[in-house]
Structure 1
Amino acid sequence: MKAVPHLDDLVGSVVPLSRDRVTSIGRDADLSFPGNNFLHRRLIDIYWRDDGWWIENVGAWIPVRYCAAAEALSSILDVGQAMRLSSRVTHLVFRAGGTEYEVVVRIPDHREHRRTESVGLSPGTSTLGPGSLTLEQLAMLVAFCEPLLLAPGVGIDRIRSMRAVEDRLGWSSAKLRRKLDNLCGKLATAGVAGLVSETGVPATNRRIALLEWALATRIISTDSVRLLDLSTVNGPLHPRRDGEDQ
């Protein structure tokens, strides 16, 4: 199956795709998940059109999350919507009743548009963006987003809590809040929306706005998780100097 486009349910079922017919996913479909009456008989159709592969949500009430394998931020394919696939590997995640399903669409012969990563992962390397991000700032973003980076297709609601990030990085609560305040202020000054309210105080949902920006702009990616494995992240990265921005 590796040589042809196919669907993979990640637990042993593989269904080839054909340009001559529509392939479906659902309770009673080509790739079938029987036994769950909350799942549509046909939820997703995959077909070839206009020199490309398309996915379409043909259900009545179940949204489908999708994302390319190289991306962490998922999007929603609403009921009745269709989308042309632009990646060799696309994750589809949907929930019916209390059960969540994941299907991968693999298109080996589809030319993927490659993008240049913007993050340098070596210690001491800064990343260009709105200003420059330090290694600690990047590590903080990755720590918040690690659940999304490790499981493509999940929603932004899976980001870590402040307490969990403190534990992951070995930082105090005061240090994490200071780092978050400084980064949000720097990015807000550079024009990133949603980080500061109209009154100038931190926005209520600024963490979500910050992490959506980081994922959508590829400031961090799945490769960035190795930042958390650098021994320097769990201790002082640089000696503090008087007047240095912490």
Structure 2
Amino acid sequence: MTFAGPTNAGHGGNNATFVEFCGERFPVVPGQPFYIGREATLTVDDNPYLHRRFLLLHDENGMWWLTNLGTHLTATVTAADLGFTAMLGPGARMPLVFGRTSVVFSAGPTTYEVQVQAGTPAPSLPPTTSPGNGDTTRGVPNFTESQKLAVLVLAEAILRRDGTGVSALPSSAQAAARLGWSLTKFNRKLDNVCDKLDLIGVAGMRAGGGKLASNRRLKLVEFALSTGLVSRDDLPMLDAEHARNVAGG
């Protein structure tokens, strides 16, 4: 098996979005789809086992998304600094919320790696329509307001990013303090959310034997962003919840 692409590409400016391959940087422009494949915006190789347009990088709702346009190839998406790895199968898509991301895929005997630096595609999100009281989101299970807050606080740093990069997700203790909750309450709400998602088949909520998955918070944030469960419009809920709990003693 041969390997094409960098194994340790350097870091660039956090606000710019670009793809690096074999030491060359390719800018990605908001509003313009960027394709990766055999005959694409980034043509990685003339490998006949590789789709003409295999991966699509585009901006939507204030975030960058990676979509697998192929029919049989799978890409592995990794944010090494955060210990996050996910498989992107045919027809699947995911938000690139971790700043610097490595994308590895194989076609025939050759394995390729591209690095994606995802900046901020737009200064703000376009107006969106949300349910009446913010307690439920179409297409996902019904969540109470407190359960949604448990998810929102984990995604806060990503939703607030302004081109300065993405911070690691908060610890449970930090998340609880942000909401003015006890650690026990936060963990209980997080467990409730993960249980609901596990029941509908969302991967990564539980490990083998029913144990909690070690990286479930990363998986949860990925799911919440990709389904619109939380958005920047929801962020004021965090300050309101903190103020309410602090005021209440």
**TM-score normalised according to structure 2 size:** 0.51
Match of 1:44 in 2: 26
Match of 2:61 in 1: 70
**Is 1:122 equivalent to 2:137 in the alignment?**
no
Q: Give the conservation status (yes or no) of the 8 Å contact 1:73–1:155.
A: no
| Residues 173-229 of structure 1, C-alpha deviations (whole Å, 9 max, x = no match) | 111111111111111112211111230111111111111111111111121212213
Give, in whole Å, the separation in 2 of the partners of 1:224 and 1:130: 17
Could you tell me how far 1:172 is from its partner in structure 2? 0.5
Give, in whole Å, the separation in 1 of the partners of 2:201 and 2:25: 40
Q: Secondary structure at the match of 2:170?
A: coil
Amino acid of the residue matched to residue 229 of structure 2? I
Give, in whole Å, the separation in 1 of the partners of 2:212 and 2:151: 17
Amino acid of the residue matched to residue 133 of structure 2? S
Distance 1:120 1:142, change over 3 A: same
Give, in whole Å, the separation in 2 of the partners of 1:102 and 1:187: 27
Q: Give the conservation status (yes or no) of the 8 Å contact 1:72–1:148.
A: no
Q: Secondary structure at the match of 2:153?
A: helix
Give, in whole Å, the separation in 2 of the partners of 1:211 and 1:180: 12
**Is 1:235 equivalent to 2:245 in the alignment?**
yes
Q: Give the conservation status (yes or no) of the 8 Å contact 1:74–1:153.
A: no
Alignment equivalent of 2:198, drawn from 167, 188, 191: 188
Distance 1:102 1:188, change over 3 A: closer
Unaligned runs of 5+ in 2: 1-12, 36-40, 45-56, 68-74, 76-96, 102-116
Q: Secondary structure at the match of 1:196?
A: coil
Could you tell me how far 1:235 is from its partner in structure 2? 3.1
Q: Give the conservation status (yes or no) of the 8 Å contact 1:185–1:195.
A: yes
Could you tell me how far 1:94 is from its partner in structure 2? 6.1
Distance 1:190 1:155, change over 3 A: farther
Identity of aligned residues (%): 26
Give, in whole Å, the separation in 2 of the partners of 1:198 and 1:10: 37
Amino acid of the residue matched to residue 182 of structure 1? N
Q: Secondary structure at the match of 1:43?
A: strand
**TM-score normalised according to structure 1 size:** 0.51
| Residues 92-124 of structure 1, C-alpha deviations (whole Å, 9 max, x = no match) | x669xxxxx886667xxxxxxx8964x43636x
Unaligned runs of 5+ in 1: 1-8, 12-24, 27-39, 60-65, 79-90, 96-100, 107-113, 237-246
- Paired residues in the alignment total 172
Match of 2:92 in 1: none
Alignment of 1:174-213 (within 5 A): 174-213=184-223
Q: Give the conservation status (yes or no) of the 8 Å contact 2:34–2:58.
A: no
Give, in whole Å, the separation in 2 of the partners of 1:138 and 1:177: 13
Alpha carbon RMSD of aligned pairs, Å?
Answer: 4.8
Q: Secondary structure at the match of 2:197?
A: helix
Amino acid of the residue matched to residue 43 of structure 1? R
